[in-house]
Chain A
Amino acid sequence: MNTQSSAVSGSFGSQGIAPAALSVTRPMYWSVRRELWENRSIYLAPLVAAAVFLSGFLISLIGLPRKMRGLSALDPAKQHAAIEMPYDTVAALIMGIAIIVGVFYCLDALYGERRDRSILFWKSLPVSDLTTVLSKLAIPLVILPLFSFAITVATQFIMLLLSSVVLLGSGLGVGTLWTQSSFFHVSLGLLSHLLIIHGLWYAPFYGWLLVVSAGAPRAPFIWAFLPPFVICAVEKMAFNTSHFAGILLYRATGPETYTPVPGSTMMDLMPALPPMHFFSTPGLWNGLALAVGFLAAAVWLRRYRGPI
């Protein structure tokens, strides 16, 4: 017994350093990779959307030289809007896809592992519930916005190149196209929009979905969407008010900074850097506090809940 315990304490001492050096980042990194292995739709869905859009755009290029000739008669503002239109559309399309993927991902993230009992395998490894839930929250808040940004920019760049080739081939200049599409300025705006609105402003939405995913005994979709609906309905019935619906709408449409101004395109509304008053919007911090609360609830639930 004595020799045994000394052997054990010896091995404990020598290995005590390794786990300490192995910081939080390593399990986090592998947990995020794990999510991408399981949920390939995170990058496949926006890629497919981009590919489909590009093939449609390719067909539309036939009419591009005619369109550009027609545009030259218009004033610069309208020219800008017309040229920018397909670029806006693809950005919006990929953003929409990313939101849909994010919602369905979150609903399944902590529910699927309970349903297929694999939670018992994940819990047998030294990855804490906090790390697991954080890695899952990172998908809609960080990974999806970054992927959508990369795919959108790549698609827009391909569109720009294809248009230039077509225009040069038909003997037209590409000057208008390149100056009016304001590619690089817009890209920065898109990145900051994705990270700030999708990553910070929408955080409580995704947090709520993760809580439902961690706790729902079955049918997480219904658990996620029915309660808000019921609250709105009851509030309307009881007090004839719609504060809750207003809060949801405010959260969904974004802070005032991004309310559209007539005459400008969607992309122009995305400043390269968010205005300082965005960070002093109480809505942002209230939302983030709520998201942290949801995160804690999801971690707590994952601890207690076993396989279904």
Chain B
Amino acid sequence: MACIEARGLRKTFGTTIALDGVNLRVEEGRILGLIGPNGAGKTTALNAILGLTPYQGELRVLGRDPWTERDQLTRDVCFIADVAVLPRWLRVSQALDYVAGVHPRFDRAKAEGFLAKTTIRRTSKVRELSKGMVAQLHLALVMAIDAKLLVLDEPTLGLDILYRKQFYDSLLTDYFDRSRTILLTTHHVEEVQHVLTDLMFINRGRIVFDCSMEQIESRYMEVMVHPGHIAEAQALKPIHQRQLFGRTILLFDLAPDLASDQASNHVDRSQLAGLGDVRTPSIADLFVAVMGGPAGDTQGAAV
């Protein structure tokens, strides 16, 4: 059973189209990154998945309709909308008591264990904690819940790099266990490169890129072209081109026909390796390439 399945998901606010026919499928046990520029529809998509907003089209989360069956889903689906949403008057001990009181799948000892690794005192109120500590508290609460789907919308927004790193480390080591599914959005794409198993780009309410990380490795290749081979390399139809330190870097899609592209000139790895230094592109490079249009043409780049 797919954890999340959407077909033709649409959502409009007045005349603004937030989601324009989103199709996506997330299997159980994946860590999916939903990346997109501001206003691309990320949060709207997450809100639809969490049953926080009504929508048109077909959407199933753990086999249920998240809008009409939200009350049944809240036990299995957990989310952090933003670290700044813990109420400021709440004491740490009260937060533990409350979640333990209302959530049947909350393991209090586990949460206490996470908190023991921090400097957060039980008697503190949320308003007395630093932003990083609030994030740690929220994460400790959420990670102690045995949920099937965890949704994180910009979970590290406003945190410094140390906290961000710690956040993803503990998410992977203390929480993720292959039977759980995590869906996250972030602007710090370079930091989630090794966290994700799947990657989706969303732009203007549509999924414009959907690929697993393994596929990216086998399908995309970046070549820092030797100066003498530039014309030759460009003839192979790179999907993106940029300059770095006077060198030309070209990004190739090794299986463009998969993306129903007419130009089915197969470029193979050995051919590219002969033109310069090759490597797997980073998420950020792919993002720029996909959002920025073909071969350095920046038309339509809504970033």
Write the residues of chain A forming the contact surface with B, with a CB cutoff of 8 angstroms: 1, 4-5, 7-8, 11, 15, 18-19, 22, 26-27, 29-31, 33-34, 37-38, 113, 116-121, 123-128, 304, 306-307
Given known contacts A125-B74, A127-B102, A306 and B86 CB-to-CB distance under 8 angstroms: no
B75 & A120 in contact (Cβ 8 Å cutoff): no
Given known contacts A117-B85, A124-B79, A37 and B99 CB-to-CB distance under 8 angstroms: no
* Contact residue among A11, A15, A37 (Cβ-Cβ distance under 8 Å from B94): A37
* Contact residue among B84, B90, B101, B178 (Cβ-Cβ distance under 8 Å from A26): B101
Give 27 CB contacts A-B under 8 Å.
A1-B27, A4-B179, A19-B75, A22-B104, A26-B101, A31-B102, A33-B97, A37-B91, A37-B94, A38-B89, A38-B90, A116-B88, A117-B85, A118-B86, A118-B87, A120-B85, A121-B87, A121-B138, A123-B52, A123-B74, A124-B74, A124-B81, A124-B142, A125-B103, A126-B103, A127-B74, A306-B53
Q: Can you name the residue of chain B whose Cβ is closest to the Cβ of A27? A: B102
* Contact residue among B28, B53, B84, B88 (Cβ-Cβ distance under 8 Å from A8): B28
1/0 contact string of B87-111 vs chain A (CB within 8 Å): 1111100100111011111000000
CB contacts (< 8 Å) of B94 on chain A: these are 34, 37
B104 & A19 in contact (Cβ 8 Å cutoff): yes
Q: How far is the CA of A118 from the CA of B82 in the complex (A)?
A: 10
Interface of B is mostly: loop
Given known contacts A15-B105, A123-B52, A126-B102, A7 and B179 CB-to-CB distance under 8 angstroms: yes
1/0 contact string of B56-84 vs chain A (CB within 8 Å): 00000000000000010011001111101
B21 at the interface (CB under 8 A from A): no
Q: Can you name the residue of chain A whose Cβ is closest to the Cβ of B105? A: A15
Q: How far is the CA of A121 from the CA of B50 in the complex (A)?
A: 12
B296 at the interface (CB under 8 A from A): no
Interface of A is mostly: helix
1/0 contact string of B32-69 vs chain A (CB within 8 Å): 00000000000000010000111000000000000000
B86 & A8 in contact (Cβ 8 Å cutoff): no
B132 at the interface (CB under 8 A from A): no
B148 & A8 in contact (Cβ 8 Å cutoff): yes
B29 at the interface (CB under 8 A from A): yes
A8 & B81 in contact (Cβ 8 Å cutoff): no
Write the residues of chain B forming the contact surface with A, with a CB cutoff of 8 angstroms: 1, 27-29, 47, 52-54, 71, 74-75, 78-82, 84-91, 94, 97-99, 101-105, 138, 142, 146, 148, 178-179
CB contacts (< 8 Å) of B97 on chain A: these are 30, 33
Q: How far is the CA of A128 from the CA of B79 in the complex (A)?
A: 15
Q: Can you name the residue of chain A whose Cβ is closest to the Cβ of B27? A: A1
* Contact residue among A11, A117, A119, A126 (Cβ-Cβ distance under 8 Å from B74): A126
CB contacts (< 8 Å) of A7 on chain B: these are 179
A125 & B179 in contact (Cβ 8 Å cutoff): no
Q: Can you name the residue of chain B whose Cβ is closest to the Cβ of A121? A: B85
Given known contacts A7-B179, A8-B28, A126-B75, A121 and B101 CB-to-CB distance under 8 angstroms: no
CB contacts (< 8 Å) of A116 on chain B: these are 85, 87-88
A125 & B102 in contact (Cβ 8 Å cutoff): yes
Among A22, A29, A124, chain B packs the most CB atoms within 10 A around the CB of: A124
B101 & A117 in contact (Cβ 8 Å cutoff): no
CB contacts (< 8 Å) of B146 on chain A: these are 15
Given known contacts A4-B28, A124-B81, A30 and B90 CB-to-CB distance under 8 angstroms: no
Q: How far is the CA of A8 from the CA of B1 in the complex (A)?
A: 11
CB A252 to nearest CB in B, in angstroms, measures 32
* Contact residue among A19, A117, A124 (Cβ-Cβ distance under 8 Å from B78): A124
Given known contacts A125-B99, A125-B103, A113 and B87 CB-to-CB distance under 8 angstroms: yes
